[in-house]
Amino acid sequence: MKRHLKVIAPSPFAGREKILEIRGLGKRFESNGRLLKVLDQVDFTVGEGEFICILGRSGCGKTTLLNILAGFIPPTAGEVLLRGRPVSGPGPDRCVVFQEDALFPWLTVEENIAFGMRGPKQAVKDEVEHFLSLVGLTEFRSYLPREISGGMKQRVALARVLILRPALLLMDEPFAALDAQARQGMQNLLLSLWAKFAHTILFVTHDVGEAVKMADRILLMDGDTGSIREEIPVHLARPREKDSVGFLRLLRHLMERL
Ligand SMILES: Nc1ncnc2c1ncn2[C@@H]1O[C@H](COP(=O)(O)OP(=O)(O)OP(=O)(O)O)[C@@H](O)[C@H]1O
Ligand SMILES: [Mg+2]
């Protein structure tokens, strides 16, 4: 008879296809004649559909890492493979959402969402309609960015990239500028969209609670060495209760390690 091994803590990304491989990544900057080593020997792999949070202190190199993954800047060592192919520049398979909205100020909400879309007019219109409703902005479709709140702008930013169905969504502290209540709303919205579309997400934050709430796996960056100090799978059931024992225990562990 076949014996079954009891799996105590399965990795949340076990059995998934690999989408992203980062191998021996390094980045040095030269400024004012000084050499600054920001990333060094960064190695990790991301599974298809995984929600990864990259957690680290200010200045440890989170944005630099995301910029390399987006193809905006080249690394000085190592390589990034997306579905087995080296990343050498920006591509439609990756989209970035920044902390501050990067909307076109002269375009309306719906025009911003439609901006990157190509295809038959009616199909684009239907898609925009769908995404307006997904992020709850149908009634604000004709507003300009300056006429809506910060939270609403981030919802436009989210709809604008999700409508392009990127394989990889890169987010750089996207909700950091929002007040606590708006931030919570955005976190829940992102989680529901992620459940629906099963994107792969790399989400940079320095907010420990945010990482514990969102991630399948947390990568803890080390500001001194510029590498990943620790990888922490988060096995808490969703939706996650912020005052549950498991949540608080992980929160405390991360606070101590950060
Ligand atoms: N183009 C550049 N030229 C020189 N130094 C740079 C450049 N970009 C970033 N750096 C330096 O690299 C380090 C890491 O910066 P980075 O923006 O990646 O940090 P971060 O973790 O995103 O910080 P924060 O949490 O404050 O956003 C910093 O010391 C920064 O000054
Ligand atoms: Mg940053």
* Distance between CA atoms of residues 258 and 254, nearest Å: 6
Instruction: Tell me: do 65 and 176 sit in the same domain.
Output: yes
| pLDDT (tens place) for every residue of the chain, 258 residues total | 444 444 444 445 556 789 999 999 999 999 889 999 999 999 999 999 999 999 999 999 999 999 999 999 999 999 999 999 999 999 999 999 998 868 999 999 999 999 989 999 999 999 999 999 999 999 999 999 999 999 999 999 999 999 999 999 999 999 999 999 999 999 999 999 999 999 999 999 999 999 999 999 999 999 899 999 999 999 999 999 999 999 999 999 999 998
CB of 66 sitting under 6 A from ligand 1: no
CB of 60 sitting under 6 A from ligand 1: yes
Give the distance (Å) from ligand 1 centre to CA of residue 189: 29
> Does a structural domain hold residue 2?
no
Instruction: Tell me: do 186 and 254 sit in the same domain.
Output: yes
Instruction: Tell me: do 179 and 128 sit in the same domain.
Output: no
Task: Give the amino acid at 177.
Answer: A
Give the distance (Å) from ligand 2 centre to CA of residue 58: 7
Residue 100's pLDDT is: 83
Beta strand 34-47 with 18-31: parallel, antiparallel or unpaired?
antiparallel
Which structural domain, as residue segments, surrounds residue 117? Answer: 102-165
> Does a structural domain hold residue 66?
yes
Number of domains in the chain: 2
> Does a structural domain hold residue 82?
no
Instruction: Tell me: do 150 and 181 sit in the same domain.
Output: no
Instruction: Tell me: do 156 and 171 sit in the same domain.
Output: no
CATH number at residue 237: 3.40.50.300
Contact in structure between 89 and 71 (CB atoms under 8 Å): yes
Give the distance (Å) from ligand 2 centre to CA of residue 65: 9
CB of 63 sitting under 6 A from ligand 1: yes
Q: Residue 231 CB: number of other CB atoms within 10 A?
A: 14
Instruction: Tell me: do 117 and 171 sit in the same domain.
Output: no
Residue 151's pLDDT is: 93
> Does a structural domain hold residue 52?
yes
* Distance between CA atoms of residues 145 and 64, nearest Å: 27
Residue 101 dihedral angles phi and psi, to the nearest 5°: -65, 145
Question: Looking at the chain, how many residues does it have?
Answer: 258
Instruction: Tell me: do 150 and 172 sit in the same domain.
Output: no
Task: Give the amino acid at 205.
Answer: T
Residue 1's pLDDT is: 44
* Distance between CA atoms of residues 70 and 244, nearest Å: 35
Instruction: Tell me: do 178 and 207 sit in the same domain.
Output: yes
Number of the ligand 1 atom closest to the C-alpha atom of 173? 27
> Does a structural domain hold residue 8?
no
Instruction: Tell me: do 237 and 178 sit in the same domain.
Output: yes
* Distance between CA atoms of residues 111 and 106, nearest Å: 9
Q: Residue 256 CB: number of other CB atoms within 10 A?
A: 7
> Does a structural domain hold residue 190?
yes
> Does a structural domain hold residue 154?
yes
Instruction: Tell me: do 134 and 250 sit in the same domain.
Output: no
Query: pTM for the complete prediction?
Result: 0.92
> Does a structural domain hold residue 237?
yes
* DSSP 8-state class, residue 26: E
